[in-house]
Amino acid sequence: MRQMTKHQALTITPLPQDSELCELQAMLSRCMQCGTCTASCPNAQAMDLTPRQLWRLVQLGQLDRIFESRTFWMCSSCYTCWLRCPRDVEPTRAMAALKRLAGEHDRASRRKSAFYRAFAGNIRRYGRVQETALMSSYLTSLASPRRALEFTPIGMKMLGKGKLHPPSRAFAGRLELLFRKVDEMEERT
């Protein structure tokens, strides 16, 4: 777990103009730093900063330190922290918002959001998720034959059970209009 030094805590990064970030900060201003979220998180041991420390950095606006952290990428959206937070902070929502902000504003984070982007791309293309196509486009985007091989035994097992299919085109393109509209609306804000 990384400790915050006095010096680091004083370096305040200017915020990019982003309404989503402002909303996030407004929500996290309610955080009283009790650490209940950290104590309830099933993935805390795999995080570098604890959730509580992350909220402090959001309050301070230290985006670069936040983007360096792997903490929000380790959130599995289990909502345990949300259930237990005494100040109604909704930390799970904050984790998702940080994944989006990092994916947009931080070049190094692009790769880490590859799976989520592959997923959205899969829906846009096929209308309904096509699992086999999704996994192959995600593993290709990782450009890591070793990571791809790690999934081979599972793939073989699923193949044996008849659980892998070539992508169905029955709903292909069905959501294209909606995706375009959402793109346009999001660019406006």
Partner 1 sequence: MTHHYAYYPGCSLLESAVEYDRSVRQVMDVLDAELTEIPDWTCCGASAVESVSRLLTYVLPARNLALVEQLMDVDDILVPCSACYLNLLRVVEDTRHDKKLLAQINEALSVEDLRYTGRAKPRHLLDILINDVGTGAIAARTERDMSGFSAAAYYGCQILRPYPVFDDPRQPRSMHLVLEALGVKPMAWDDEARCCGASLMVTKPEAALASVARILDSASQADAVVTVCPMCQINLEAYQSKAAGYGGPRETVSVVYLPQLMGLAFGCTEDELMLNKNMSLAPRFRAGMRQGWATQGSLEETVVEEA
Q: Are 70 and 44 in contact (CB under 8 A)?
A: no
| 148 interacts with partner 1 by CB under 8 A | no
| 92 interacts with partner 1 by CB under 8 A | yes
Q: Which is nearer to ligand SF4, 31 or 135 (CB)?
A: 31
Residue 57 is inside which H or E element, if any?
helix 51-60
How large is the angle between the packed helices 51-60 and 91-105, nearest 10 degrees? 60
Cα separation, 41 vs 77, in Å, equals 10
Max distance between CA atoms of the chain, in angstroms, equals 58
| 59 interacts with partner 1 by CB under 8 A | no
Binding site for ligand SF4 (CB under 6 A): 31-37, 40-43, 51-52, 55, 75-81, 85-87, 89, 91-92, 95
How large is the angle between the packed helices 114-126 and 91-105, nearest 10 degrees? 90
Note the residues at the interface with partner 1 (CB under 8 A): 20, 42-43, 45-46, 73-74, 76-80, 82-83, 90, 92, 96-97, 99-100, 103, 112-113, 115-117, 119-120, 123, 127-131, 135, 138, 150, 153-154, 157-158, 161-163, 165, 171, 174-175, 177-182, 185-186
